Structure 1
């Protein structure tokens, strides 16, 4: 079965096992605290301090793994795929998470959804544009950022390189034609 919060992919068996065997055995309070701390860890890169009176033994090393799993798989991935909070809740409950835990996850996701989406957007690696400065039948010079690259190859290799680039651009154009428009 495919899940929206995983980008319309099937749930990995190890994640299903974690949901059923690990997260389901946590109290609602502990799961809520893990969700809040995981969201903070994903957004800010560090765990927020929790008052000892509310912390239910959550500082153990085994719970750090839970923070990462909840943060990356149950908060960041859905945000990256723009999964509605209601879908996330329904799907994790369908995978075996208790309904109370699903509601806690949904509440946390609703609170931090925009920050998580921004984190995903900013984490995508972007290469600087390259500008062709000069070309010849067997070489070209390009600039990317402040670096200048000289690329030389045989005329056969240059011809193959040009064909590969043209085919790639054609495939990208064909692919973009299948995407829904931004107006929808």
Structure 2
């Protein structure tokens, strides 16, 4: 099955396994976990120390690895839901489909509903990006047997760069970029 919270992909098996383990977590701890995860995602903090887990655990799990698994799955669900702009109502329904308890699904949906628009904006800004290049000038030279393009480019950060690339390499780069752009064509009308 495909799920909106995961970008119309199937839910990973490890997340499914953790969802079934959520039933052992009391509602108040589950709700606190959701709020804490969202707060940490705002700050781009995705790891939890054993001290953090002890505070959340409140004696619930003898083995903190079980708590780590639950936190990792909840972080995955909340982060993916926000990135893919999953509606809170859809998230609640999908969690029920995956076997999460009604109370936990409702708690997750309510906490997520309070933050998902702002969290989406924050997560999109945190996504790593390389600067784009704009070609300002190009000239082709014959050097021995090779045709070499001398390019003068400017990055989106305002830096000027000069470099040379052999004609075959430039053509291969163009083909790969066209292939990458074509793979996104299916999303143009959506």
**TM-score, length of structure 1 as denominator length:** 0.76
In structure 2, list runs of 5 or more residues that go unmatched: 141-147
Residue correspondence of structure 1 range 45-64 to structure 2 within 5 A: 45=44, 56-57=58-59, 61-62=64-65, 63-64=67-68
Contact preservation (8 Å) 1:5, 1:74: yes
2:147 equivalent to 1:143 = no
SS in 1 for 2:85: coil
Equivalent residue, structure 2, for 1:126: 129
Equivalent residue, structure 1, for 2:19: 19
Deviation at 1:43, TM superposition (A): 1.2
Residue correspondence of structure 1 range 144-159 to structure 2 within 5 A: 144=155, 145-158=157-170
Q: Distance in 2 between matches of 1:27 and 1:128?
A: 46
SS in 2 for 1:9: coil
Q: Distance in 2 between matches of 1:37 and 1:150?
A: 47
2:70 equivalent to 1:66 = yes
Deviation at 1:28, TM superposition (A): 1.1
Over 3 Å counting, the alpha-carbon distance change for 1:146 and 1:93 in structure 2 is same
In structure 1, list runs of 5 or more residues that go unmatched: none
Contact preservation (8 Å) 1:5, 1:78: yes
Residue correspondence of structure 1 range 29-178 to structure 2 within 5 A: 29-45=28-44, 56-57=58-59, 61-62=64-65, 63-71=67-75, 73-137=76-140, 138=148, 139-144=150-155, 145-158=157-170, 160-161=171-172, 164-165=173-174, 168-169=177-178, 172=181, 175-176=184-185
Over 3 Å counting, the alpha-carbon distance change for 1:64 and 1:178 in structure 2 is closer
